[in-house]
């Protein structure tokens, strides 16, 4: 038998192949290291040593608000502040700084929550916190059946009251500071303390800044009001550092380089003019390396916000508010005034739309539960009421515009009965007389206005018969015309959230007649002032405004900076009536106050400034704070008055509204009393502000006009 052939081994070949693979891999690695160290070494070294420039913005005080005579209304009061800027520090580093700072300042702990305490306890007691989790749970964590968040939530739940008692008062103070540190955003100064910072605290922190990385001493500000609560509801409010940017406008502000914790106007004038009041922040460049601050340099100086010069005359505003307060309390002493709790006055230049006074007072309670009159100037644009006959000037002019009547058109004023309407529709007195529009305005004829509305609707009246409107757009025609005066539409005043009033929903013929005498839709005091201004100035609806000028920030050598923007009057529309038609209505309004038959003659006959206007009493339903859900409708009377003076050369226009003035068919006349005293006050203050020569010239002009 032949010998068997010996089987060849494959082991040496596999080993050699392995060695070859290892050799190739090491060769690649060495080559790569050579590229890194030799070819790109310098580049990577520069990257390691690279410094970064980070721009930090520091907020500046807001602009001031002044009245038309340059009296300061809203200003800034400086106060010492301690801030912290998170420069990408770790929690442990921040805690150390908080502990050092707690030795130098007293920090209130009233904002510290139980959750804050538990977080702080975990941070200070990591081992004890770890023991809150069982071994089995840690095994589940390693097996990824529990995540970090679940472990953390379990630790929080298992921290006991006894655990939290381990935190001393000093610990809580550190926690209060640490809480402020972590509530801010990276590279954004965060207020740590700005209330009650003593000189000793400020000095101690300033002297130890090198041991307190991120901490700084600076000056913060608060809004201060020279006239206390006067007009404060209209001036608006500013957010504090805890509120920061309003969530609903967050994207808007962030897009304009605001910081999240920055203070901004959150209501009314402060919000409306945020862009100019805010100012230009100072910018500082921080030079960092590996997260460490190497130094800083100023990029640009900050500039506080621009100043607003308002149209308001604060001396007149205060005087008008005093009149309101006295007349509200006087009216409350009469019968049937349980529901009366407010009154409003607006004074406006009819030619420019400048609002000189925007006054509202409402009965409320102070912090001690005492009944007081509170500022409710905001109600002049935010609340609306039935105003009654004050709108009759607009009704007559609407009759002219639609061709329903012409100057001299006469109607019989007698009670009217319309089929389907339960009550007889009549004037406040059974005149039983034929009258034209001038007398209808003078004596406040309802029937004349009813018949004008019927003509607008292209209908015919017959006793106890239905009104068949041939014009299906009668409501739209009348409301559209009223809107041309500013009634039932936004006036355009430079304030947010202006109300437009309530529009009656039903379209029955009887309601069109009610609309004609101001007893269907509701209007704001500001709308009423714009309406009477439109008549007074010759038919131009002027946009009312509260800001007269925007000024550059004043320097230390100036009381007021140069004008940045002078805001000019804006005509929104004109009234399409002839001079004859407009003058006919203006004569009727003059007779209201200067003719013995006029409804306001007794109170205004001796007024030296020759006023014109229209009174109003509206049957309405109470809709105030005492109304409860499910209550029956309570009948009340609203009082109103619109006026301008002098009648032949108007310089001031006024609206007065006293809602829910009384219950019953008769009561006080607070609208007359307020209106007369307010106009007297305006002309008295004007006279005081004149020089002797100006007073003589004014007296001569008055004599010439009278003759």
Name 396's Cβ contacts closer than 8 Å, sequence gap at least 6. 405, 437, 440, 441, 449, 452, 584, 585, 588
Structure tokens at 277: 């009041």
Q: How far is CA 371 from CA 67, 331, 365, 374, 532, in A?
A: 30, 16, 5, 9, 34
Q: How many CB atoms lie within 10 A of CB 12?
A: 9
Q: Which of 481, 475, 511 is nearest to 397 (CA)?
A: 481
CA atoms 136, 138, 142, 147: torsion sign: positive
- Pairing of the two strands 282-289 and 635-645: unpaired
With 0-12 / 13-18 / 19 or more C-beta atoms within 10 angstroms meaning exposed / middle / buried, residue 369 is exposed
**End-to-end C-alpha distance for the chain, whole angstroms:** 161
With 0-12 / 13-18 / 19 or more C-beta atoms within 10 angstroms meaning exposed / middle / buried, residue 294 is exposed
Q: How many CB atoms lie within 10 A of CB 252?
A: 13
Q: Alpha-carbon distance 93 to 91, whole Å?
A: 5
What ranges make up the beta strands (E) of 366-514?
371-375, 410-413, 433-436
- Pairing of the two strands 72-85 and 215-225: antiparallel
Q: Alpha-carbon distance 28 to 33, whole Å?
A: 9
Judge if the upstream peptide bond of residue 300 is cis by omega within 30 degrees of 0: no
Beta bridge partners of 639: 617, 658
Q: 57, 259, 384, 389: which is the annotated catalytic residue?
A: 389
Q: What b/e sequence results for 444-479 when a residue is b if at least 16 CB atoms lie within 10 Å of its CB, and e otherwise?
A: bbbbbbbbbbbbbbebebeeeeebebeeeebbebbb
Give 625-646 as a 3 state SS string: CCCCCCCCCCEEEEEEEEEEEC
Q: Alpha-carbon distance 299 to 517, whole Å?
A: 65
Q: How far is CA 83 from CA 105, 212, 215, 219, in A?
A: 12, 11, 6, 10
Is the CB of residue 339 less than 8 Å from the CB of residue 96? no
Beta bridge partners of 410: 436
Concerning whether 389 is annotated as a catalytic residue, the answer is: yes
Q: Which of 596, 627, 544, 111 is nearest to 346 (CA)?
A: 544
**DSSP summary character for residue 344:** E
Catalytic residue IDs: 389
């Amino acid at each position: 038998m032949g010998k068997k052939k010996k089987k060849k081994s494959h082991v040496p070949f596999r080993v050699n192949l392995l060695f070859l693979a290892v050799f190739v891999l090491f060769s690649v690695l060495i080559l790569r290291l050579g590229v890194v160290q030799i070819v790109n070494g310098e580049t990577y070294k520069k990257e390691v040593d690279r410094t970064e420039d980070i721009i930090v913005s520091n907020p500046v005080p807001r602009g001031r608000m002044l009245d038309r005579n340059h009296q300061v209304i809203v200003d800034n009061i400086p106060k010492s502040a301690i801030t912290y800027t998170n420069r990408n520090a770790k929690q442990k580093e921040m805690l150390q700084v908080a502990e050092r700072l707690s030795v130098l300042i007293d920090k209130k702990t009233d904002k510290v929550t139980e959750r804050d305490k538990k977080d702080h306890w975990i941070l200070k007691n990591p081992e004890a916190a770890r023991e809150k989790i069982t071994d089995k749970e840690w095994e589940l964590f390693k097996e990824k059946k529990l995540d970090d968040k679940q472990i953390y939530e379990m630790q929080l739940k298992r921290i006991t009251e006894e655990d939290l008692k381990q935190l001393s008062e000093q610990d809580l103070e550190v926690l209060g500071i640490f809480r402020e540190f972590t509530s801010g955003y990276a590279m954004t100064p965060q207020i740590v303390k700005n209330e009650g910072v003593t000189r000793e605290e400020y000095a101690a922190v300033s002297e130890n800044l090198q041991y307190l990385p991120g901490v700084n001493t600076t000056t913060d500000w608060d809004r201060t009001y020279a006239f206390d609560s006067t007009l404060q509801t209209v001036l608006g409010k500013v957010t504090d550092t805890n509120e920061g940017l309003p969530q609903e406008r967050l994207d808007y502000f962030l897009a304009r380089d605001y910081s999240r914790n920055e203070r901004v106007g959150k209501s009314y004038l402060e919000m409306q003019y945020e862009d100019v009041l805010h100012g230009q922040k100072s910018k500082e460049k921080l030079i960092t390396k590996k997260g460490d601050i190497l130094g800083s340099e100023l990029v640009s100086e900050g500039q506080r916000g621009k100043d607003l010069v308002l149209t308001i005359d604060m001396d007149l505003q205060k005087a008008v508010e005093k009149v309101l307060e006295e007349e509200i309390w006087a009216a409350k002493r009469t019968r049937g005034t349980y529901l009366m709790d407010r009154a409003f006055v607006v004074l406006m230049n009819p030619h420019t739309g400048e609002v000189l006074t925007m006054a509202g007072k409402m009965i409320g309670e102070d912090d001690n539960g005492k009944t007081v009159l509170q500022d409710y100037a905001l109600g002049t644009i935010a609340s609306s009421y039935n105003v009654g006959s004050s709108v009759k000037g607009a009704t007559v002019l609407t009759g002219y515009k639609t061709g329903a009547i012409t100057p001299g058109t006469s109607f019989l004023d007698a009670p009217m009965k319309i089929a389907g309407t339960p009550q007889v529709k009549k004037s406040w007195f059974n005149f039983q007389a034929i009258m034209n529009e001038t007398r209808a305005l003078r004596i406040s004829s309802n029937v004349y206005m009813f018949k004008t509305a019927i003509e607008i609707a292209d209908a015919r009246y017959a006793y106890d018969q239905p009104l068949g409107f041939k014009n299906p757009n009668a409501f739209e025609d009348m409301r559209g015309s009223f809107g041309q005066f500013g009634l039932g539409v936004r006036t355009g005043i430079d304030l947010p959230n202006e109300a437009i009033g309530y529009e009656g929903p039903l379209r029955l013929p009887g309601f069109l007649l009610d609309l004609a005498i101001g007893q269907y839709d509701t209007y704001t005091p500001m709308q009423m002032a714009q309406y009477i201004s439109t008549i007074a100035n010759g038919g131009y609806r002027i946009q009312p405004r509260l800001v007269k000028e925007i000024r550059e920030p004043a320097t230390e050598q100036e009381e007021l900076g140069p004008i940045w923007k002078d805001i000019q009057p804006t005509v929104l529309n004109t009234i399409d009536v002839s001079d004859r038609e407009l003058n006919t209505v203006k004569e009727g309004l003059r007779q209201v106050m200067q003719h013995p038959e006029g409804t306001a003659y007794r109170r205004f006959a001796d007024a030296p400034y020759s006023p014109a206007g229209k009174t109003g009493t509206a049957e309405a339903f109470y809709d105030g704070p005492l109304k409860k859900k499910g209550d029956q409708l309570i009948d009340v009377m609203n009082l109103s008055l619109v006026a301008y003076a002098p009648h032949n050369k108007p310089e001031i226009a006024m609206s007065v509204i006293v809602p829910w003035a009384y219950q019953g068919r008769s009561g006080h006349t607070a609208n007359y009393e307020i209106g007369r005293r307010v106009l007297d006050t305006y002309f008295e203050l004007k006279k005081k502000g004149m020089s002797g020569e100006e007073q003589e010239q004014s007296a001569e002009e008055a004599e010439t006009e009278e003759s």
